[in-house]
Amino acid sequence: MPNSNKLFARNYSCPICKTSFTSMAVRRSASYVLEKESDLHIIYRGLSPLHYSIIVCPGCSYAASNSTFNDDLPDKISIQLAGALLKLKSEKLPDFNEERNIDTALISMQMAIRTAQLKKVPPAELAGLLLGAAWLSRETGNQDLEFKYMREALAKYIEAYQNGSDSIGNLTDVQAVYLIGELNLRLGNYNEAVNWFNQVIFHKSIKNYPQIEKQAREQWALARESFHGDTPKNPVIPEVSTNNIKVGKEETAEVIDSNPKTKKRRPLMQMPIHLYSDQIEWITGLVNSGYTASRCLVTREEIVRAILDAIIETLQGNLPVQFASEEDLKQQFIEIFTHQE
């Protein structure tokens, strides 16, 4: 049947300029799921609801998801948005309130991202829009644009996760951690992907998500295989601040040991810690030199654990006890290690 019969009009009222208008939505009977990709992108037969998920006001170009568009905004934000949107308004925009093609859908998502940035929405909300733009870019075949939006979405999802919450946007904690791992994998950050998938597999709530557990194990194996295979020379890692990282709650898990000769599994507990920049550079240099020599990845986290294990086994209970500062403790460690040589 023609696409016009697959769509219906919904009423909206712009919270900025108060314009009343209608925008198209896809009838449930007109879209069929063909495939769900590993990063949660759904491929449909027929019209895709994603293409109509963003509502754009024809009066002022305010854009937001169909679930939040009609939400009232504080007067201060409305006034600021009205002025900003007026300056950015373009006369060459397509008609978003009729049937859309993929290009129109992508433009609407880009406008929603712009509006969200102007509103200074929480990182999880912006991450969802950026991921939507990545999906639409993939559908157009523009891989460069897809990767650009994936990198930005990844950074925002990590920021949201570090803020500490049981849910991130419309994702549960487990789903969010899985998605962060998957985006790292797609961007070629294989070591980061392994670490995030590892957190998924041993998450305390993972048994409530059997399909995600299955996917996480498959993608964990793929990330390990990819890293030891054709690894990009310069994998793209998003610039995410490590300052003031918050851990919402203490969690226990187990580490998947990548060494087949080692069968022992030990409980893993998460805790916040801050390191000096030169210490992080030193650890990163050790990661790189180790991989260059052996072509096997030992992550920064694994290196820190190895150092602590080496200290514990070397000291065997001979711990310093009288220290009043970080520097004092460092000097005592140096003295202990010097005497053991």
Q: Express each pLDDT in 122-136 by its tens digit.
A: 999 999 999 999 999
Claim to verify: residue 51 and residue 113 sit in the same structural domain = yes
Claim to verify: residue 111 and residue 129 sit in the same structural domain = no
Claim to verify: residue 241 and residue 285 sit in the same structural domain = no
Q: What confidence score (pLDDT) does residue 324 get?
A: 87
Claim to verify: residue 293 and residue 258 sit in the same structural domain = no
Claim to verify: residue 129 and residue 262 sit in the same structural domain = yes
Domain boundary among 121, 151, 168: 121
Q: Which stretches in the chain have pLDDT values below 70?
A: 1-4, 165-167, 228-272, 291-292, 295-297, 340-341
Claim to verify: residue 128 and residue 252 sit in the same structural domain = yes
Claim to verify: residue 80 and residue 48 sit in the same structural domain = yes
Claim to verify: residue 217 and residue 130 sit in the same structural domain = yes
Burial class (CB in 10 A: 0-12, 13-18, 19+), 293: exposed
The alpha carbon of 93 is separated from its chain's Cα centroid by a whole number of angstroms, namely 30
Determine how many CB atoms are found less than 10 A away from the CB of residue 36.
12
Claim to verify: residue 251 and residue 305 sit in the same structural domain = no
Q: What confidence score (pLDDT) does residue 253 get?
A: 40
Claim to verify: residue 145 and residue 209 sit in the same structural domain = yes
Domain containing residue 245: 122-274
Answer for the pair 178, 216: CB distance below 8 angstroms, yes or no: yes
Domain boundary among 88, 121, 154: 121
Q: Evaluate if pTM is beyond 0.85.
A: no
Report how far apart the first and last C-alpha atoms of the chain are (Å, whole number).
Answer: 83
Domain boundary among 121, 141, 166: 121
- In terms of phi and psi (left: phi > 0; alpha: psi -120 to 50; beta: otherwise), the region of 221 is alpha
Claim to verify: residue 165 and residue 280 sit in the same structural domain = no
**How many domains, in total, are found in the chain?**
3
> In terms of Cα–Cα distance, which of 93, 91, 70, 74 is closest to 82?
74
Claim to verify: residue 260 and residue 282 sit in the same structural domain = no
Answer for the pair 72, 64: CB distance below 8 angstroms, yes or no: no
E strands, the chain, are 7-13, 20-26, 31-36, 42-46, 54-56, 63-65, 167-168, 171-172, 252-254, 267-269
